[in-house]
Amino acid sequence: MKWGSAYLREHFFGRIRTTSQCEGIHSLLKNYVDSKTSLLEFMHKFSEFSVLTTCLESFEKQAAELYTRNIFKLVKDEIEAAAALNVTECPNNGDIIEYNTSEYFNQQWQFKVSYNKDKDLFACECRLFETRGLPCSHIFGILKHHNAKCVPTSLILKRWTRDAKTDFICSIGEQDSADDIVPTLRCGVMASICWKLCDISSKNSADYREISSELLKLISKVQNKSDAQARLSPTSVLIGDPAVVKSKGAPRKVPKG
């Protein structure tokens, strides 16, 4: 039905969506739901459905995939503000290029951005990245000026990303001493890992049976190992009378009969 738009282009329809537009929305939704999707699953997947609202969709999509939900909202505000910036390139100074950025119809507030081509590093006078670890709107404006498709890794702080806990989990697994890690913390980390495994395997009956069987075997193995260690360690302590210690001073005289 896309050919129909050519014949209806001069007619006013009051923003009514055409059939082709509706079909495009349906094809997009089919990537997330199907005929067997329950209402509960639909609500979870609908909340994960990404809706791009800024004009810089490539930056917004990358930020939505990398950052956590709360940090993404802050980065999204900076991306939206970048659309209203004017960028002027200063005279070239070797490997470092400087730009002046200003708001549309507001030339009073200007910030200078420096870009090192060799190291792919950005620095802005507003110091938002140095202060909060977030790329500012002025840097996004420079990236837009260069027609960049993604944000360089030098502007992505690991602690604000979804994978920030990966290194933390790996470091916990490398420690062997029980004094270094509280058992409660270990339990929380393993529960987080198992929850992801359960979420993936529960969607397929074959995976569900395989993972359930392997988990039962693993539980039995760990339990037997724990019982063996418990038998080797002393289970009881003999409690006897305290040792008699001779008191200081002269011995006590026993009266004669």
pLDDT computed for residue 226 by the predictor: 83
* DSSP code, position 122: E
Largest CA distance in the chain: 136
Are 20 and 5 spatial neighbours (Cβ–Cβ below 8 Å)? Answer: yes
Taking all residues of the chain, what is their mean pLDDT, rounded to a whole number? 78
pLDDT band (50, 70, 90) for residue 111: very high
Mean pLDDT calculated for residue range 115-139: 90
Report d(CA 32, CA 42) in Å as an integer. 8
Neighbours of 144 (CB within 10 A): 18
Of 10-24, 100-114, 206-220, least confident by mean pLDDT is 10-24
Task: Tell me if residue 236 falls in helix, strand or coil.
Answer: coil
Cα distance between residue 67 and residue 156, in whole Å = 9
Query: Which of 1-10, 27-36, 112-121, 151-160 comes out lowest in average pLDDT?
Result: 1-10
This prediction has a pTM of 0.50
pLDDT at 117 over 80: yes
Amino acid at 183: P
Residues of the chain with pLDDT > 70, as a percent, come to 68
pLDDT of residue 176: 47
Tell the burial category of 8 from Cβ atoms under 10 Å away from its Cβ (0-12, 13-18, 19+).
exposed
Lowest mean pLDDT among 4-13, 28-37, 95-104: 4-13
Given this model, what pLDDT does residue 77 score? 92
pLDDT: which is higher, 153 or 175: 153
